[in-house]
Chain A
Amino acid sequence: NAGVMQNPRHLVRRRGQEARLRCSPMKGHSHVYWYRQLPEEGLKFMVYLQKENIIDESGMPKERFSAEFPKEGPSILRIQQVVRGDSAAYFCASLPGTGTTGELFFGEGSRLTVL
Chain B
Amino acid sequence: AQSVAQPEDQVNVAEGNPLTVKCTYSVSGNPYLFWYVQYPNRGLQFLLKYITGDNLVKGSYGFEAEFNKSQTSFHLKKPSALVSDSALYFCAVAPNAGNMLTFGGGTRLMVKP
Contact between chains at A103 and B49 (CB < 8 Å): yes
Interface residues on A, range: 20 to 34
Contact between chains at B43 and A102 (CB < 8 Å): no
Rounded to whole Å, the gap between the CB of B16 and the closest CB of chain A is 29
Which residues of B are interface residues toward A (Cβ below 8 A)?
Answer: 6, 32, 34, 36, 41-46, 49, 51, 90, 92, 94, 97-106
Q: Is A67 engaged at the interface, CB distance under 8 Å to the other chain? A: no
Contact between chains at A101 and B94 (CB < 8 Å): yes
Rounded to whole Å, the gap between the CB of B70 and the closest CB of chain A is 23
Contact between chains at A104 and B44 (CB < 8 Å): yes
* Closest B residue, CB atoms, query A97: B99
Contact between chains at B32 and A101 (CB < 8 Å): yes
Can you list 16 residue pairs at the A/B interface with Cβ under 8 Å? A4-B43, A31-B99, A41-B105, A42-B104, A42-B106, A48-B100, A93-B43, A95-B99, A101-B51, A101-B98, A102-B46, A102-B101, A105-B46, A106-B43, A108-B42, A109-B42
B106: chain A residues within 8 A (beta carbon): 41-42
Contact between chains at B94 and A102 (CB < 8 Å): yes
* Closest A residue, CB atoms, query B91: A42
A107: chain B residues within 8 A (beta carbon): 43
B105: chain A residues within 8 A (beta carbon): 41-42
Q: Is A43 engaged at the interface, CB distance under 8 Å to the other chain? A: yes
Interface centre among A31, A43, A105, A108 (most CB of B within 10 A): A43
How many angstroms from the CA of A31 to the CA of B101 in the assembled complex? 13
B49: chain A residues within 8 A (beta carbon): 101-103
B90: chain A residues within 8 A (beta carbon): 42-43
Q: Which 6 A-B pairs have the closest CB atoms?
A: A106-B43, A42-B105, A43-B103, A106-B44, A108-B43, A42-B106
Contact between chains at A102 and B99 (CB < 8 Å): yes
Contact between chains at B102 and A102 (CB < 8 Å): no
Rounded to whole Å, the gap between the CB of A95 and the closest CB of chain B is 6
How many angstroms from the CA of A42 to the CA of B32 in the assembled complex? 19
